[in-house]
Structure 1
Amino acid sequence: MQQSNAPETLFLYSTTVSDIGTVRSNNQDSSFAGEHLMAVCDGMGGHAGGDTASTIAIRSLAHIEHDDVRGDVQAISAMMETSVMAAHDAIVGKAKRERKLAGMGTTVTAVALVKGYWILAHIGDSRAYLLRNDVLTRMTSDHSYVQHLIDTGRITEAEGRNHPQRNVVMRVLGDFDIDPRPDIGIFKAHPTDRWLLCSDGLCGVLEDDTIHDMLVSVSDQEECAQQLVSMALKAGSTDNVTAVIADATLALDADAFDLPHQTPLIGGAAGTSLEAIADIVNAPVSSAPTLRHGKGSPATRAAALTQHTDDDASAAAPRVAQPSAVRDQDVGRTDTDTGEIPVVHKKDGRISADPNDPEVAKAITDEQERRTKDSRSKTIRSRIRIAAGLMLAVVIIVTGAFGAYRWSQTKYFLGRGDGVVAIYQGVNTNIFGFSLSHKVEDTNITLRELPRAWVDQIDQGITVDDLADAHDHTALIRREIKTLGTAEDSTATNSTTKPGAATKKDAGKSGATPSSSASSSASPSASPSTKGGKS
Structure 2
Amino acid sequence: MVTSIRAAAASHVGKVRSNNQDSGYAGASLFLVADGMGGHAGGDVASAIATNRIKEIDHDYPTAEDAQVALQSALLAANGLLAETVFEHPELTGMGTTVSALIRVDGKVALAHIGDSRIYLFRDGELKQVTTDHTFVQRLVDTGRITEEEALTHPRRSVLMRVLGDVDSSPEIDTWTLETMPGDRWLICSDGLSGVVKQEAIQNVLTHVDSPKTAADRLVRASLDAGAPDNVTVVIVDIDRAIDGVREPVTVGSASAPVQFQQEATTHTRALRLPALRLHPPRPATGPTHFEPQTDDYLDELIEEDQRRVRRRRLTWLLSAILLVVAIVLAGILGYEWTQSRYFVGESQGKVAIFQGVQQNLGPIALSHVHTETDILVDGLSAYEKQQVEDTINASSLGDAQRIVRQLSDDSSG
TM-score over 0.5 for the pair: yes
Taking the TM superposition and a 5 Å limit, the aligned residue runs for 1:243-392 are 243-249=234-240, 261-273=246-258, 337=274
Taking the TM superposition and a 5 Å limit, the aligned residue runs for 1:35-434 are 35-66=28-59, 69-177=60-168, 180-249=171-240, 261-273=246-258, 337=274
List alignment gaps of at least 5 residues for structure 2. 260-271, 278-414
SS at the partner of 1:47?
Answer: coil
Larger radius of gyration: 1
Instruction: Measure, in 1, the Cα distance between the counterparts of 2:163 and 2:240.
Output: 32
Task: Report the Cα offset of residue 250 of structure 1.
Answer: 5.3
Q: Deviations over 1:15-37 (max 9, x none)?
A: 11100011111100000012211
Cα distance, 1:169–1:338 mapped onto 2, change above 3 Å: farther
SS at the partner of 1:109?
Answer: strand
Letter in 1 for 2:35: D
The match for 2:17 is 24
Cα distance, 1:148–1:179 mapped onto 2, change above 3 Å: farther
The match for 1:330 is none
Instruction: Measure, in 2, the Cα distance between the counterparts of 1:122 and 1:184.
Output: 7
Task: Report the Cα offset of residue 149 of structure 1.
Answer: 0.9
Letter in 2 for 1:143: H
* TM-score, with structure 1 as normaliser: 0.48
Instruction: Measure, in 2, the Cα distance between the counterparts of 1:230 and 1:259.
Output: 25
Cα distance, 1:31–1:57 mapped onto 2, change above 3 Å: same
Instruction: Measure, in 1, the Cα distance between the counterparts of 2:70 and 2:248.
Output: 23
Instruction: Measure, in 1, the Cα distance between the counterparts of 2:124 and 2:240.
Output: 14
Instruction: Measure, in 2, the Cα distance between the counterparts of 1:208 and 1:259.
Output: 29
Q: Deviations over 1:392-436 (max 9, x none)?
A: xxxxxxxxxxxxxxxxxxxxxxxxxxxxxxxxxxxxxxxxxxxxx
Q: Which has the higher contact order (CA 8 A, sep 6+)?
A: 2
Letter in 2 for 1:272: A
CA contact (8 A) 2:65 2:110 kept: no
SS at the partner of 2:78?
Answer: helix
SS at the partner of 1:205?
Answer: coil
Name the structure with the higher strand share. 2
Instruction: Measure, in 2, the Cα distance between the counterparts of 1:74 and 1:202.
Output: 30
Task: Report the Cα offset of residue 71 of structure 1.
Answer: 3.3
Q: Deviations over 1:341-396 (max 9, x none)?
A: xxxxxxxxxxxxxxxxxxxxxxxxxxxxxxxxxxxxxxxxxxxxxxxxxxxxxxxx
SS at the partner of 2:248?
Answer: coil
Cα distance, 1:44–1:211 mapped onto 2, change above 3 Å: same
Q: Deviations over 1:285-318 (max 9, x none)?
A: xxxxxxxxxxxxxxxxxxxxxxxxxxxxxxxxxx
CA contact (8 A) 1:90 1:339 kept: no
Letter in 2 for 1:74: E
Cα distance, 1:21–1:46 mapped onto 2, change above 3 Å: same
CA contact (8 A) 1:34 1:65 kept: yes
Task: Report the Cα offset of residue 177 of structure 1.
Answer: 3.9
CA contact (8 A) 2:258 2:275 kept: no
Task: Report the Cα offset of residue 87 of structure 1.
Answer: 0.2
CA contact (8 A) 1:130 1:195 kept: yes
Cα distance, 1:220–1:178 mapped onto 2, change above 3 Å: same
Instruction: Measure, in 2, the Cα distance between the counterparts of 1:27 and 1:147.
Output: 25
Instruction: Measure, in 2, the Cα distance between the counterparts of 1:16 and 1:188.
Output: 23
Instruction: Measure, in 2, the Cα distance between the counterparts of 1:249 and 1:261.
Output: 15
Task: Report the Cα offset of residue 269 of structure 1.
Answer: 0.1
Deviates more, 1:180-189 or 1:82-91: 180-189
SS at the partner of 1:95?
Answer: helix
Instruction: Measure, in 2, the Cα distance between the counterparts of 1:192 and 1:46.
Output: 39
CA contact (8 A) 1:14 1:246 kept: yes
**Of residues 15, 25, 34 in structure 1, which corresponds to 2:27?**
34
CA contact (8 A) 2:255 2:276 kept: no
Instruction: Measure, in 1, the Cα distance between the counterparts of 2:105 and 2:56.
Output: 14
Instruction: Measure, in 2, the Cα distance between the counterparts of 1:176 and 1:168.
Output: 14
Letter in 2 for 1:158: E
Cα distance, 1:336–1:111 mapped onto 2, change above 3 Å: farther
Task: Report the Cα offset of residue 63 of structure 1.
Answer: 2.0
CA contact (8 A) 2:49 2:78 kept: yes
Letter in 2 for 1:25: S
The match for 1:12 is 5
SS at the partner of 1:103?
Answer: coil
Cα distance, 1:60–1:13 mapped onto 2, change above 3 Å: same
Q: Deviations over 1:216-275 (max 9, x none)?
A: 111111111111111112112310011111100258xxxxxx99630111100001139x
Name the structure with the higher helix share. 1
Task: Report the Cα offset of residue 200 of structure 1.
Answer: 0.4
CA contact (8 A) 1:171 1:179 kept: no
SS at the partner of 1:107?
Answer: strand
CA contact (8 A) 2:76 2:170 kept: no
CA contact (8 A) 1:113 1:119 kept: yes
CA contact (8 A) 2:80 2:169 kept: no
Letter in 2 for 1:205: V
CA contact (8 A) 1:43 1:105 kept: yes
Task: Report the Cα offset of residue 178 of structure 1.
Answer: 7.7
Cα distance, 1:210–1:202 mapped onto 2, change above 3 Å: same
